[in-house]
Structure 1
Amino acid sequence: MPSLCMTTRLRFLLLLIPVILGGCATSPGSSEPQTDITDDFSRRGELPLNNQWWQAFGDPDLNQLVKDALAGNFSLAANYQRLLQARATAERQAAGLWPSLDASLGAERQESETTSTDTFSTSLSASYEVDLWGRVQALTEAEELRAAASQSDYEAAAVSLSGEIANTWFQLVEQRAQLALARDQLQTNLDVLSLIETRFTAGQSGSPDVLRQRQLVSASRERLTTLEGDIRVLENQLAVLTGQPPLRATLPESARLPSLPPLPQTGVPGELVQRRPDVQQAWRLVQAADRDLAAAISNRFPRLSLEASISNRTDTARELFDNWLATLAGNLVAPLVDGGERRAEVTRSRAVLEQRVQEYRQTVLTAIQEVEDALTTEHQQQQRLERLEQQIDLAGASYRQLRTRYLNGAVSYIEVLNALQDRQDLQRTRLTARQQLLNARVALYRALAGSIEPQNDRMESNQT
C-alpha cells in the first residue's frame, strides 16, 4: 500500500511538470543599453595608446615609482583582497550547480548492569536541486559577473593610483625646479643689491633703492624656505603612495620636467566604452542585476530536489559495509501563499536593474566628458605656454634696457625693480604651466586608459 501511494505521487508530479514549464516566463534579456554618444573626439593623435601609459613620458624614475606603487600600495592591496573575496563568492555559488555528497561514520556503546552493546553505522547521502527554470544558473552567472566587476574596480583603482603617482611626481619635480630657479633668482637679487649699495656709497643712489632691493632679497629667501617645506610634503605623499614610510623612503632626485609626448590616438567613444575599466565595471553590474532579476522570477516557480542515501547499521565492525539500505526521494515544492514576498523581490530586482542601467549611461557620458575636458585643457595650456615664452622674452629685454638707463641716471630704480620682479614671476609661472600641461596629459591618459592586470595575478601566472 505505501509503495502504491508513492507511485501515484510520482505520476502526479511528472504530469504537473509540463504544465508548470508552459507557464514559466522567460528571463529578461541582457542587450546593451543604448547611450547617445558623439561620433568622434575633438582632437586625436597618432601615437598608439599603451595601457602602461606612463611610459610615454620616457621618464625612468616615473616608471619605477609606478611599478613600486602597483606592487606596494596598501590601499590597492586591500582592493585586490576584495577581488579575491568576489571570486570566492562566485565559486561558492557555482557549487550549487553540482550535487552535494556527505559521508558519516559512527560508533556507539550502550552499557547496562549485565550487558554492553556496540553499534556501528555508516551512511552516504547526496542531494541535488534540478535547475528547472535556470534559477541556480542565473545566480551563478550573477556572482561571476560581480567578480568580473570587482576586477574592473581593481583595474580602475590601479589606473587612478598610477595617475596620482604621476601627478605627485611632476609636482615634486616642478617644486625642485622652482627651488633651483629661486636660488638663481636670489643670487641675481644679491648681485643687484651689491651694485646698488656700491652706487649708494658713491652717492649715485638713494637709500630707498637699497631698502627696496633688500626687501626683494628677503622675499627670495622666504620663497626658498616655503619651497623646501612643500618639497618635503610632496616627498612624504609620494613615499606613502609607493608603500614606504616617509622618513625612510628612497625617492629619485630628479629636478627636470620631461617633455610632453605626442598626442595619443583617442579613437572613438565606442572604443573608449570597451576599454575603460570603470565603464566595464558599470556594464558588468548591469548584467549581474539582469541575472538577479531572472533568478527572482524563477524563484516564483516550484523547485524540484532529488535526495539519495545509503546507510548501514550493525552490531559488529566486520558487517559494517554489508546489508546497505538505499533510499531515493524527489521533492517538488511550489510556493502557494507568501504574502507577496516573491513578487516584491521581482519588483525590487527590476528596479535595481534599471538603476544599474542609468548608472552605466552616466558612467559612459562622464568618461567621454573626461576625455574632452583633458583635450581642451591641454590645448589651452599649450597656447598659454607659447604666450608665456613671448612675455618672458619681452620682460627680459625690458629689464636689460631699464637697468642700463638706470645706471645712466635716466629712470628711477622702481621701474627697474618692477621689471625684475615681472621677469622672475614669469619664469616661475612658466615652470608651473609646464607642470600643469603634464598634468593635463596625465588626465587624458587616465581618461583613455585600459585595464592594468593585478600584480598578484601576474605573479601567479608567471609561477605556473
Structure 2
Amino acid sequence: MQEVEAPIEQPENFSSSGASEIQEEWWTSLNDPTLNQLIDTALVKNFELAGSWEQFQASIASVKVQRSFLFPDIQAEARTGISRPEPDFAGGENSQVGLSAAYEVDLWGRIRSGVEAEEFRAQASFYDYQAAAMTVSAETALNWYRLVAARKELELIEEQIETNQNILKLLRARYTSGQIRAVDILRQEQLLESTRNQKIFFETNVTLIENQLAVLLGTPPQNFTKIPEANFPELPALPQTGLPLELARRRPDLKRAYSLVLAADRDMAVAIRSKYPSISLNLSAQARSNDFNSLFQDWAYTLAGNIVGPIIYGGRLNADVGRTEAIKNQRLYEYGQTVLVAFREVEDALVRELKQKERISTLEKQLDLAVKTNKQLKLSFLNGLTDYLDVLIALGQEQQLQRDLINARQELIEFRISLYRALAGSFDTERETQIEDIEYLEE
C-alpha cells in the first residue's frame, strides 16, 4: 500500500499520558461484568451494526465484479428454427451452436487500477463497520453508566423525600407549641414538593435510558429485562496515549478516510489510462447445419483483434481526469480533517478527565462543609438562635450537592469512555471471525 501523508503540520506529543496499555476491547479495562455482557450482546444483535456489515458484504461483491474484467468473458449460444415449406429453404440455417470469448488486454493497467480502487473502497467499508462497532460499544457503555447514575439519583431523591417529610413533621409539632411560624412550614412543604417533582424526573430518566439500552441491544423496549443495580467502577490508571500519528494506524475511522484517499487515487489512474488505446481479442467457434443430427460435423472459427484509440472526444477524457483529481484532493483534505478531529478528541478527553477530578474533589469538600453547616444550623434552630430559613437554605444546598456529586462521578466515567474511544483501535467481532474475505483486505 502506498503511503499518503495527511496534509497537516507535524504534531507534537499529547499533553499527558498514562502508563497502562489500552486493550483492544477497551471496556474490559473497567472490570465491570455487566458492561461486558451488555456490549457482547450489542455487538451481535444491534441492527445498525448488522446493516453496516451487510454494506461491507456488498463492497466485497463489487470487488469480485471488478476483478472479473481481468478474465475473458466466455459465453455459449444455441439457436434452432424450423422453416416451411422445406424445399424453399433448403439452403437456410435451421440450427446453430457456438462458443465465443472476449478479452480486453490490460496493456496500461486501467482495469487493474479499477480493481484496486474497489479494493480500497471495500477496505473503507470494512473500517466503517469497525468504527460502527466502536460507536455501538461506546454508546452501550455510556447508557449503562447513565442508568447507574439515574438509579443512584432516584435512590438519593427518595432518601431526601423521607428526610424532608421527617423535618416537616418536626416543624408541625413545634408549630403547635408556638415555637415556629407558619411560613416555615410552608417553605418546608415547598422543598418537599420540589424533591417529589425531581423524583418524577429521575423515574422518567431511568425508563428512557432503559429504552435506549434496549434498542442498542436489538430488543423491543417493552421486552427489556431489568438489569440488576450496580455501582460506578473504580477507574483504572490513565492509558498510554502514544504518539499522535499512531492513531492513523489504529483508529478505524482514520483508516477508512485513508483508504478513500487511495481509492480516489486509483480512480484518477483509471481516468488517465482511459486516454490510451485499448486492445481487445474476440474468439468464436460455431457449428451450423440444416439437419440437427449433423450439427456438430462442421465448425467455423473466428479470431479477431481490435485496437481502439481515442482521438476526438470533445475534451471528455481530460475533464474526467480533472474531476477524479479534484475528488482525490477532496478525500485527502477530508483525511487531514479527520486526523485533526481525532487529535482534538484525545486532547479534549484528557483535559476533561483531569478537570473533572478536580471538580469532584471540590464538590466533595463543598458537601462536607454543607453537612457540617447544616448540622450547626439545625442545633442553632432547635435552641432558638437562628431562623428556619437559614436551615432550609442549607438543607437545599446539601441535597443539591449530593445530586451534583453523583452526576459529576458519572461524567468522569463518560470522559474516560471518550478517551478510550479516541485512543482505541479496532477489535474483532463475531462476524469478522466467520468470513475469509477480510484477509486480503487487511494485507
Task: Give, in whole Å, the separation in 2 of the partners of 1:173 and 1:322.
Answer: 83
Report the equivalent of 2:65.
Answer: 92
Aligned residues: 433
Report the equivalent of 2:25.
Answer: 52
Is structure 2 residue 29 aligned with structure 1 residue 43? Answer: no
Report the equivalent of 2:393.
Answer: 418
Cα offsets for 1:250-276 (capped at 9, x unmatched)? 241324222222211111111111111
Report the equivalent of 2:213.
Answer: 238
Task: Give, in whole Å, the separation in 2 of the partners of 1:64 and 1:31.
Answer: 39
Contact 2:7 2:333 in 1 (8 A): no
Report the equivalent of 1:427.
Answer: 402
TM-score by length of 1: 0.89
| Range with greater deviation from structure 2 (281-290 or 47-56) | 47-56
Q: Report matched runs for 1:284-323 at 5 Å.
A: 284-323=259-298
The alignment partner of 2:302 has SS state of: strand
The root-mean-square deviation of aligned C-alpha atoms, in Å, is 1.8
Q: Which amino acid is the alignment partner of residue 53 of structure 2?
A: Y
List gaps (5 residues or longer) in structure 1.
1-28
Task: Give, in whole Å, the separation in 1 of the partners of 2:428 and 2:8.
Answer: 28
Report the equivalent of 2:85.
Answer: 112
Cα offsets for 1:224-243 (capped at 9, x unmatched)? 11111111111111111211
List gaps (5 residues or longer) in structure 2.
437-443
Task: Give, in whole Å, the separation in 1 of the partners of 2:248 and 2:39.
Answer: 25
Percent of aligned positions that are identical = 42
Contact 2:7 2:332 in 1 (8 A): no
Task: Give, in whole Å, the separation in 1 of the partners of 2:412 and 2:6.
Answer: 36
**Which of 122, 134, 151 is residue 176 of structure 1 equivalent to?**
151
Contact 1:37 1:365 in 2 (8 A): no
Is structure 2 residue 304 aligned with structure 1 residue 329? Answer: yes
Contact 2:17 2:239 in 1 (8 A): yes
Q: Which amino acid is the alignment partner of residue 82 of structure 1?
A: Q
Q: Report matched runs for 1:325-404 at 5 Å.
A: 325-404=300-379
**Which of 164, 167, 186 is residue 142 of structure 2 equivalent to?**
167
Contact 2:144 2:213 in 1 (8 A): yes
Contact 2:284 2:301 in 1 (8 A): yes
Q: Which amino acid is the alignment partner of residue 174 of structure 1?
A: A
Report the equivalent of 1:9.
Answer: none
**Which of 413, 419, 427 is residue 438 of structure 1 equivalent to?**
413
State the shift of 1:161 in Å.
Answer: 1.8
Contact 1:37 1:269 in 2 (8 A): no
Contact 2:151 2:206 in 1 (8 A): yes
Is structure 2 residue 49 aligned with structure 1 residue 76? Answer: yes
Report the equivalent of 1:207.
Answer: 182
The alignment partner of 1:109 has SS state of: coil
Cα offsets for 1:25-47 (capped at 9, x unmatched)? xxxx7643453242311111122
TM-score by length of 2: 0.94
Task: Give, in whole Å, the separation in 1 of the partners of 2:244 and 2:226.
Answer: 38
Report the equivalent of 1:262.
Answer: 237
Task: Give, in whole Å, the separation in 2 of the partners of 1:291 and 1:113.
Answer: 59
The alignment partner of 1:282 has SS state of: helix
The alignment partner of 2:307 has SS state of: strand
Q: Report matched runs for 1:21-36 at 5 Å.
A: 31-36=4-9
